């Protein structure tokens, strides 16, 4: 039986960590709450970084979730610019990069993830990843300088959003994707091809089935050399090839690590320790599989759930239907559920040719997911069917 902590420390001050802190106060926890973040900024929303903030339509403060004054008003001690480097579960202590140790009673691990990078590119200006606010502002400055050509490595959702934003600025954009079909491993080839055509419709030079051999330049990027020997001139290169959970600081702590922090179904890691957000890996009982989810909605909901689990051991399993959205050009692309590339796919509303449709995925006689292009109402309604465990036939027969 776990005990209720007298104080709670949250490591990671992005969406999951912030929501954990807010949930503690909403649920009546009156003990000390400390929010420790590696960045110098108060918590902010990440989705606008690849869209509104990068486009210059928003200034950075519009993406803020809170500020230090609001946190203080809620009785939350904010400590920013501090990176956790170690955890001692027995001593109930955190180690920080400054050499300081911090005692804790209850702990929420919400250290998120970081972008994968390409080897051999250290110190090369004009080369970017996009994860943090500082990343966004550095890339925005380069885009505002009017580069001749932007190259995006990786046609996942972040790469696709950056490409769309750059095209919205009138820039020439090449996207390089190693898979034959963008997002084929997520959406399957048929729907991945639709995503590819959206970019080609807007003038993106999309090259698929080819990797990047190296990025060349003297102090600044000048060209990208592809695995087929072709070269693409570039003034700005954005690398979007996935993320790595920030778990190195937990090595040797006794916390189980496997592509994230391993939790039970309720997000519990150890006595009075939970995890949430991009770093958490847990068994989602609704789908019968262990997953780590990198979506905004998941971070928000799981942060709150992890906080409640600290306060009440009767807190049930965290079993949501994952979903996310991606704004590209004039299309809002939404995906709910847990799909595989070999799932059966059926368009149930609208037209693929017009890039306005809803398509459902099925496996084992069940609906597993729904993909929508400018169909938010349909996505939410089919998402409810997924949550209810509806059959694929029931989903096909539904009229929305």
For 384, the domain range is 330-397
Q: Output the domain CATH number for residue 125.
A: 3.50.50.60
In a domain, 64, yes or no: yes
Q: Are residues 122 and 227 in the same domain?
A: yes
The band of 2, judged by pLDDT with boundaries at 50, 70 and 90, is low
Percent of the chain with pLDDT over 70: 100
Q: Are residues 207 and 345 in the same domain?
A: no
In a domain, 158, yes or no: yes
Query: How many structural domains comprise the chain?
Result: 3
Buried b (16+ CB within 10 A) or exposed e, 367-388: bbbbbbbbbeebbebbbebbee
In a domain, 325, yes or no: no
In a domain, 348, yes or no: yes
Q: Are residues 104 and 250 in the same domain?
A: yes
Q: Are residues 144 and 202 in the same domain?
A: yes
Report DSSP letters for 281-349, one per residue.
EEEETTTTEEE----HHHHHHHHHHHHHHHH-TT--------EEEEEETTEEEEEEE---TTSEEEEEE
Residue 82 has pLDDT above 60, yes or no: yes
In a domain, 320, yes or no: no
Stretch 89-113: mean pLDDT, rounded? 97
Residue 352 has pLDDT above 70, yes or no: yes
Percentages of the chain per state (helix, strand, coil), in multiples of 5: 30, 30, 40
The band of 368, judged by pLDDT with boundaries at 50, 70 and 90, is very high
Q: For 17-48, how does the pLDDT look when each residue is reduced to its tens digit (9 = 90+)? A: 999 999 999 999 999 999 999 999 999 999 99
Q: Which residue among 214, 239, 264 closes a domain?
A: 239
d(CA 225, CA 205): 15
Q: Are residues 198 and 282 in the same domain?
A: no
pTM of the model: 0.96
Q: Which residue among 239, 268, 289 closes a domain?
A: 239
Residue 400 has pLDDT above 90, yes or no: no
Q: Are residues 41 and 102 in the same domain?
A: yes
Q: Are residues 84 and 122 in the same domain?
A: no
In a domain, 322, yes or no: no
For residue 79, give the nearest of 7, 9, 165, 159 by alpha carbon: 9
Percent of the chain with pLDDT over 90: 97
In a domain, 319, yes or no: no
Stretch 296-313: mean pLDDT, rounded? 97
Q: Output the domain CATH number for residue 383.
A: 3.30.390.30
Q: Are residues 98 and 46 in the same domain?
A: yes
Q: Are residues 297 and 377 in the same domain?
A: no
Q: Are residues 187 and 222 in the same domain?
A: yes
Residue 389 has pLDDT above 80, yes or no: yes
Q: Are residues 110 and 247 in the same domain?
A: yes
Q: For 307-332, how does the pLDDT look when each residue is reduced to its tens digit (9 = 90+)? A: 999 999 999 999 999 999 999 999 99
Q: Which residue among 284, 311, 338 closes a domain?
A: 311
Q: Are residues 361 and 215 in the same domain?
A: no
In a domain, 3, yes or no: no
């Amino acid at each position: 039986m776990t005990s209720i902590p007298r104080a709670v420390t949250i490591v990671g001050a992005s969406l999951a960590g912030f929501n954990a802190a807010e949930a503690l106060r909403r649920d009546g926890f009156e003990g000390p709450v400390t929010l420790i973040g590696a960045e110098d900024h108060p918590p902010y929303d990440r989705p606008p970084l690849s869209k509104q903030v990068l486009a210059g339509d928003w200034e950075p403060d519009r993406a803020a979730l809170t500020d230090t004054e609001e946190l203080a008003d809620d009785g939350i001690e904010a400590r920013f610019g501090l990176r956790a480097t170690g955890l001692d579960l027995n001593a109930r202590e955190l180690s920080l990069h400054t050499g300081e140790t911090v005692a804790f009673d209850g702990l929420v691990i919400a250290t998120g993830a970081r972008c994968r990078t390409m080897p051999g590119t250290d110190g090369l200006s004009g080369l970017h990843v996009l994860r943090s606010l500082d990343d966004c502002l550095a890339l925005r400055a380069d885009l505002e300088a009017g580069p001749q050509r932007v190259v995006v490595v990786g046609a996942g959702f972040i790469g696709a959003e950056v490409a769309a934003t750059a095209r919205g600025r009138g820039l020439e954009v090449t996207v390089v994707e190693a898979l034959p079909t963008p997002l084929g491993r997520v959406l399957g080839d048929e729907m991945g091809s639709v995503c590819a055509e959206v970019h080609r419709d807007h003038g993106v030079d999309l090259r698929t089935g080819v990797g990047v051999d190296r990025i060349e330049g003297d102090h600044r990027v000048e060209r990208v050399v592809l695995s087929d020997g072709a070269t693409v001139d570039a003034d700005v290169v954005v690398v979007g090839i996935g993320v790595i959970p920030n778990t190195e600081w937990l090595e040797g702590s006794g916390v189980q690590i496997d592509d994230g922090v391993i939790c039970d179904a309720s997000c519990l890691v150890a006595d009075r320790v939970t995890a949430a957000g991009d770093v958490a890996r847990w068994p989602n009982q609704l789908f019968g599989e262990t997953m780590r989810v990198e979506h905004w909605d998941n971070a928000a909901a799981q942060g709150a759930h992890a906080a409640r689990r600290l306060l009440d051991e009767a807190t049930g399993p965290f079993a949501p239907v994952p979903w996310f959205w991606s704004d590209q050009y004039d299309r809002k692309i939404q995906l709910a559920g847990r799909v595989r590339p070999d799932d059966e796919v059926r368009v149930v509303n609208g037209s693929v040719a017009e890039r306005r449709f809803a398509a459902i995925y099925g496996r084992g006689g069940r609906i597993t997911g729904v993909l929508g292009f400018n169909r938010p109402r349909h996505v939410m309604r089919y998402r409810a069917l997924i949550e209810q465990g509806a059959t694929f036939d029931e989903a096909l027969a539904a009229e929305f």
